[in-house]
Amino acid sequence: MQQIEEINILDFCCGTGGEIVGMIIGLQFLLPNLKRINVDAVDANPDAIRVLYHLGEDLKGVDDIKIEFHIHPMCLFIETGQDFEDFIQMLNREYHYILSFKALNEFVQNRSFSVGNIYSDVVDYLLPLLLPDGALILSDVTTKLDDVYLFYPELMNKGINEALRRNRSYKSIIPHSCYYMEDKCEGCYMQDIFTVTHSRKQMDRTKVAYRIICHADFANTIMDGIRSNNCRAVNRLADKFEPYR
Ligand SMILES: C[S@@+](CC[C@H](N)C(=O)[O-])C[C@H]1O[C@@H](n2cnc3c(N)ncnc32)[C@H](O)[C@@H]1O
């Protein structure tokens, strides 16, 4: 990976693209040979897509960003399986990173894809787009709907584990415990708290749950020698409010 010169990213439900800017800056810092980043970004909100387009243009003049990048924003409302299949058909590359941050809870709220588990469906659709050394990063908020029994992290873990049990070609790497437990785990609650200082607020706290999934061979290489007991399935005293790596 250190030698890589070009990276492809897909951001599903990108909003105004804060995570894209973060990824560009982070990857430029971590990968010294990187020359170009290609980003396909989709969202239903035309205003967000417009902001992202202008953000991309503005970033081209920023001194701190030395590498070439191309952001391809797409405005699509994805409500059904057919919409998702049409969207996948539009993409003509595979990705090193596929992101979906804090968005799938909105599908639950809007009852999109009304049958089944949205996290499971999205993982099924997106994993085939992943390059052999790529990573799918899913994060979401940690609350719940009043009329739904499960919290979003529980729905997310349940859905992802179901998808990974259906398709053994992929495995989780983060949280580390999921690599070991995803075969039997029915979906636990998890939460990590990050503190970020930005233009509107000092030390703003954000609470998220997240999973990172890779091709199984790649995951096995990464996880060689890594153990974790910070998982409530194996350690009932594990604190669900602690970072769960
Ligand atoms: C809370 S925002 C998160 C945006 C960005 N990922 C972030 O973390 O800042 C959720 C985004 O999901 C998008 N979204 C929700 N349902 C969608 C759907 N059915 N199809 C496409 N985009 C959708 C919304 O338009 C919104 O921009």
Q: What is the pLDDT of residues 17-67, one digit of tens each?
A: 989 988 998 999 999 899 999 999 999 999 999 999 999 888 887 887 888
Say if CB 174 and CB 211 are below 8 A apart.
yes
Asked if pLDDT for residue 240 goes beyond 60, the answer is no
Which residues neighbour 167 within 8 Å (Cβ) at sequence distance 6 or greater? 124, 127
Q: Which atom of ligand 1 is nearest to the CA of 107?
A: 16
Q: Which of 9, 11, 12, 13 to mutate to test the pocket of ligand 1 (most atoms within 8 A of CB)?
A: 13
Across all residues in the chain, what is the average pLDDT? 90
Query: φ and ψ at 219, to 5 degrees?
Result: -60, -40
Q: Which residue has the higher pLDDT, 148 or 98?
A: 98
Check residue 145 and give its pLDDT. Answer: 86
Which residues neighbour 209 within 8 Å (Cβ) at sequence distance 6 or greater? 139, 140, 141, 142, 152, 153, 156, 157, 189, 190, 191, 192
Q: Is the CB of 44 under 6 A from ligand 1?
A: yes
Matching residue, tokens 């081209």: 60
Question: What is the rounded average pLDDT of the residues 85-106?
Answer: 95
Question: What is the rounded average pLDDT of the residues 6-13?
Answer: 97
CA of 204 to the centre of ligand 1 (A): 21
Element (H, E) at 119: helix 118-126
Check residue 45 and give its pLDDT. Answer: 97
Check residue 13 and give its pLDDT. Answer: 97
Proportion of the chain above pLDDT 70, given as a percent: 93
Q: Which two tokens stand for residue 63?
A: 């001194």
Q: Which residue has the higher pLDDT, 165 or 60?
A: 165
**189 confidence band (pLDDT: 50, 70, 90):** confident
Q: Is the CB of 121 under 6 A from ligand 1?
A: no
CA of 71 to the centre of ligand 1 (A): 17
Residue 101 CA to residue 124 CA, distance in Å, equals 17
Check residue 192 and give its pLDDT. Answer: 84
The single-letter DSSP state of residue 117 is: -
- Among candidates 9, 35, 5, 7, which has minimal Cα distance to 129? 9
Q: What's the pTM?
A: 0.93
CA of 33 to the centre of ligand 1 (A): 32
Asked if pLDDT for residue 134 goes beyond 80, the answer is yes
Question: What is the rounded average pLDDT of the residues 218-238?
Answer: 80
Asked if pLDDT for residue 14 goes beyond 90, the answer is yes
Asked if pLDDT for residue 239 goes beyond 70, the answer is no
Poorest-pLDDT segment among 55-69, 99-113, 171-185: 55-69
Question: What is the rounded average pLDDT of the residues 124-133?
Answer: 97
Neighbouring C-beta atoms of residue 70, cutoff 10 Å: 11
Element (H, E) at 28: helix 18-30
CA distance from start to end of the chain: 22
Asked if pLDDT for residue 206 goes beyond 80, the answer is yes
